[in-house]
Amino acid sequence: MDELGERALAIVEESFIASSGPGGQNVNKVATAVQLRLDVFALRLTPQVFNRLKSLAGSRMTAKGEIVLTARSYRTQEANREDARKRLLELLDKAQTIPKARKKSRLNRVGKEKRIKAKKNRGEVKANRGKVRY
């Protein structure tokens, strides 16, 4: 775990809520789902990382700058807490990695001519479709 992950887990707020799904009567008695809230501004991210995190989080980020993650896949609080923390750390890690710049592909003259010839050929095939006239 990196420094950002440690800072995030230190300031994250956890609350347990009633969950739906597997668990039988346990679901009605115990709040097993966990909801994590992380104030992104408290992390003091660089603008580039913040923008990437904002786009990755999508609807999970509130207008106040909080990321809200809910985990309810498992039947126990501990497993759901671990799942939510893991997902949060993955999200932060993904936001830190700089995306690779796409290089524009170059086509040589022969390749261009070949492509144009194929397009003309395909157009001819399509033009010849339709009703047959005698």
Helices (H), 1-108: 3-11, 26-29, 47-57, 77-96
| 3-state helix, strand and coil shares in percent for the chain, rounded to the nearest 5 | 50, 15, 35
Judge: domain 3-96, CATH 3.30.70.1560.
Answer: no
* Angular region, 50: left φ>0, alpha ψ -120 to 50, beta rest: alpha
Q: Tell me: the pLDDT tens digits for 43-102? A: 888 888 888 888 888 888 888 888 898 888 888 888 998 999 899 889 888 888 888 998
Cβ 11 vs Cβ 42: under 8 Å: yes
Report which secondary-structure segment, H or E, holds 17: strand 13-17
Looking at residue 33, its amino acid is: A
pLDDT of residue 133 exceeding 80, the answer is: no
